[in-house]
């Protein structure tokens, strides 16, 4: 069974706590859960000033504070930009790119499964 864990929840930022809820909500859907079942990747995410990284391995997800030194991919955006992506407001994404409110890096293919567990 897929599990979403947080390392030291009491000292995790609100961004990490929100993200855990989002991932929890998504992996209750078997189709979305299946998309991360075989992943072995680490994604750095920065929302506003808050930095976390997701370690996805064997179908489990762990959310840790701060950035990983060697991530598979990186997503940087304002909090509302990242929420807009989660809400499927993809029409807003080009504007966020133009205004530099949303940036991605690393292996972009690794981000595709992430989209399926970050839907709001």
Binding site for another protein (CB under 8 A): 8-18, 20-22, 25, 47-51, 65, 78-80, 83, 87, 120
> Helix, strand, or coil here: 44?
strand
Nearer to another protein by Cβ, of 53 and 110: the residue is: 53
Beta carbon of residue 30, minimum distance to another protein (angstroms, whole number) = 20
Nearer to another protein by Cβ, of 5 and 57: the residue is: 5
d(CA 32, CA 44): 20
Beta carbon of residue 80, minimum distance to another protein (angstroms, whole number) = 4
- CA distances to 4, 39, 74 from 94, in Å: 30, 28, 17
d(CA 95, CA 87): 15
Beta carbon of residue 111, minimum distance to another protein (angstroms, whole number) = 20
Phi, psi dihedrals of residue 38, rounded to the nearest 5°: -105, 15
Nearer to another protein by Cβ, of 20 and 110: the residue is: 20
């Amino acid at each position: 069974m897929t599990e979403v864990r947080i390392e030291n929840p009491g000292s995790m930022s609100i961004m990490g706590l929100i993200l855990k809820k989002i991932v929890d909500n998504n992996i209750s859907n078997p189709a979305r859960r299946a998309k991360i079942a075989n992943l072995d990747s680490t994604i750095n995410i920065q929302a506003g000033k808050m930095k976390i990284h997701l370690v996805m391995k064997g179908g489990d997800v762990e959310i840790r504070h701060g950035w990983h030194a060697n991530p598979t991919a990186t997503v940087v955006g304002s909090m509302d930009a990242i929420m807009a992506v989660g809400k499927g407001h993809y029409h807003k994404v080009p504007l966020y790119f133009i205004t530099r409110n949303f940036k991605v890096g690393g292996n972009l293919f690794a981000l595709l499964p992430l989209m399926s567990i970050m839907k709001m």
